[in-house]
């Protein structure tokens, strides 16, 4: 019986392939730092070398206290590389004090109220013919679609982000690292 269960588990793992590889990480390292499920979103994010731009933007937007709050929150956290892929000058412009509301809108368009694991998001997409949407804290919409067997995150401008590290559990929610900045309309 154990042999059958092991073979079944292996078969299931193979059938899901690379699309679920991002879902099966214990105690993930992000930006070279271990992430602790006992720490909140901000406490963990400040330790990631891959998220210094995001942390600076959250600080400039005055959202630190919010993201340290009880939540729960699901955060799609763009890397420094993702911010670097924006048109030249975009980040500097967003960080200017006169653009505070725009910066807050962009950042909160990466946050959904609730705690959604990657497996839950995938299941919701499967239950909805491969695609569905959730409202963000900013009031904008993030789409989730299964493309080529992988779950993609799609902003209102139809830009697509891959989840590169999923299920980074926090004391007040979960972070999914993404490879693109999700821009609201």
- Count, in order, helices (H) and strands (E) of the chain: 8, 9
Using omega within 30 degrees of 0 as the cis cutoff, is the peptide bond preceding 72 cis? yes
Average pLDDT, the chain: 86
Q: How far apart are CA 69 and CA 86, in angstroms?
A: 29
Q: How far apart are CA 166 and CA 178, in angstroms?
A: 9
Would you list the domain boundaries of the chain? 2-178
pLDDT band at 26 (very low <50, low <70, confident <90, very high): low
Q: Which residue has the higher pLDDT, 104 or 29?
A: 104
28 closest CA partner among 170, 152, 150: 170
Taking the CA atoms of residue 48, residue 148, residue 110 and residue 128 in that order, the dihedral angle to the nearest 10 degrees is -140
CATH number of 2-178: 2.30.180.10
b/e code 63-77 from CB counts within 10 Å (16+ = b): bbebbeeebbbbbbb
Residue 143 has pLDDT above 80, yes or no: yes
For residue 63, the SS3 value is: coil
**Overall size of the chain counted in residues:** 185
Q: What's the confidence (pLDDT) of residue 9?
A: 34
The separation between CA 32 and the C-alpha centre of its own chain, rounded to angstroms, equals: 17
pLDDT in tens, 82-96: 999 999 999 999 999
Residue 57 has pLDDT above 60, yes or no: yes
């Amino acid at each position: 019986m154990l042999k059958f269960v092991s073979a079944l588990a292996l078969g299931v793992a193979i059938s899901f392939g690379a699309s679920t590889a991002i879902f099966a990480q214990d105690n993930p390292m992000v930006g070279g730092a271990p992430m602790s499920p006992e720490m909140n979103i901000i406490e963990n994010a400040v330790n990631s070398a891959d998220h210094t731009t995001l942390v600076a933007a959250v600080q400039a937007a005055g959202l630190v206290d919010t993201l340290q709050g009880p939540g729960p929150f699901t955060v799609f956290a763009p890397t420094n590389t993702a911010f670097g892929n924006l048109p030249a000058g975009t980040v500097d412009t967003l960080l200017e004090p006169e653009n505070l509301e725009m910066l807050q809108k962009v950042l909160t368009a990466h946050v959904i109220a609730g705690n959604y694991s990657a497996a839950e998001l995938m299941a919701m997409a499967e239950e909805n013919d491969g695609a569905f949407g959730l409202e963000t804290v900013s009031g904008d919409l993030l789409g989730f679609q299964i493309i080529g067997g992988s779950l993609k995150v799609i902003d209102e401008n139809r830009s697509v982000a891959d989840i590169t590290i999923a299920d980074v559990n926090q004391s007040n929610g979960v972070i999914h690292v993404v490879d693109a900045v999700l821009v609201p309309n």
